[in-house]
Structure 1
Amino acid sequence: MSLDDLKIIISLEQPDTFDAVNLTGELSEVLKSITGDSGRNSFNPDDVKLKRSVFVVARDSLGNAIGCGALRPIDENIAEVKRMYVRKKHMGCGSKILSYLEDKAREFNYSALWLETRLINNNAVSFYERNGYKRIKNYGKYIDYPQSVCFEKKL
């Protein structure tokens, strides 16, 4: 971990800002190269403009946007983590974004966080497992998607 990684600043933003659009666009390209699907159909930016939801951008000590993540409600007690992405050279940033989203979920009085990724996305699967997420049955639109894996973390 570099000194710049220790100075990561995470801030709330709208998902349609310049940096947010660029980061989520990069994420879509990365996901398409790994899974064959960009994931764009699984994320509506308006979902993170709802009450008890957020979109965040992480920046390095120079103010450069280096990562993003979002939280949206599934129901009164469960929120979903969406659009987690970090540019590769910024180790430790993903955990900081995820921790920030978990803190926000607690503030919003959610009792659990859920998320979906693809089994083929080994880096994402191991990242969520390292951060205390447990595999659960596929939910929602992912129920009949054997290529998907869903996770939960109790808060």
Structure 2
Amino acid sequence: MTVTIAAESPLQDDVRALVADLNETLLELSPPEFCFHMTAEEMAGADTTVFVARDGGAAVGCGALRRHGGGVAEVKRMYTRPGHQGQGIGGRILDEILALARQEGIGRLVLETGDRHDAAWRIYERAGFNRCGAVLDYPDSGYSIFYEKSLQI
């Protein structure tokens, strides 16, 4: 099957199930107080665009661009179901996020990811993100790794 990626509402039942899988996965890797989830309702806010990867119509991955103002936006909710990992889906979702951020004139992208998410680190680093100190209002704990990328020309 061909995997497609498009901006979609997170309020669809299959996308809600995907987000629930993501949340469950994160809770297996980090203490609850260091899991920075967004609900589907929060993801549906005007400040967030959600990209969904579909394989034969089934939601298999997601990622989001959340705008914070001042030329800064955040990469959020990146996830690919285990059976689809290793196929470049996460990188393709990130490419969509980057393209939208550039189109909107966002100057800096930031993100927080877990300290045990080495597959995610590879995706971000291949896309030109660099590790940095704590971003936005995230606590600087041993459970988080932070990245940033300048989009200014």
Tell me the distance in 2 between the aligned counterparts of 1:41 and 1:78.
Answer: 18
TM norm structure 1: 0.84
Q: Which residue of 1 aligns with 2:89?
A: 93
Task: Say if 2:132 is the partner of 1:136.
Answer: yes
Moved over 6 A (4+): none
Q: Which residue of 2 aligns with 1:66?
A: 60
Aligned-pair Cα RMSD in Å: 2.0
Measure how far apart 1:129 and its partner are: 1.6
Larger displacement relative to structure 2 (130-139 or 140-149): 140-149
Q: Which residue of 2 aligns with 1:84?
A: 78
Tell me the distance in 1 between the aligned counterparts of 2:83 and 2:33.
Answer: 21
1:62-97 deviations in Å (ceiling 9; x for gaps): 211110111111223111011110012321110110
Measure how far apart 1:47 and its partner are: 5.2
Q: Is residue 114–residue 144 contact of structure 2 (8 Å, CA) maintained in 1?
A: yes
Q: Is residue 68–residue 85 contact of structure 1 (8 Å, CA) maintained in 2?
A: yes
Tell me the distance in 2 between the aligned counterparts of 1:32 and 1:92.
Answer: 24
Q: Which residue of 2 aligns with 1:109?
A: 105
Tell me the distance in 2 between the aligned counterparts of 1:49 and 1:116.
Answer: 20
Distance 1:29 1:38, change over 3 A: farther
- SS of residue paired to 1:142: coil
- SS of residue paired to 1:14: coil
Distance 1:118 1:41, change over 3 A: closer
Where structure 2 has 5 or more consecutive residues not aligned to the other structure, the ranges are none
Q: Is residue 55–residue 68 contact of structure 1 (8 Å, CA) maintained in 2?
A: yes
Q: Which residue of 2 aligns with 1:19?
A: 14
Q: Is residue 11–residue 44 contact of structure 2 (8 Å, CA) maintained in 1?
A: no
Q: Among the aligned pairs, what percent are the same residue?
A: 34
1:101-138 deviations in Å (ceiling 9; x for gaps): 11111111101211001212222223222222101110
Q: Count the aligned residue pairs.
A: 148
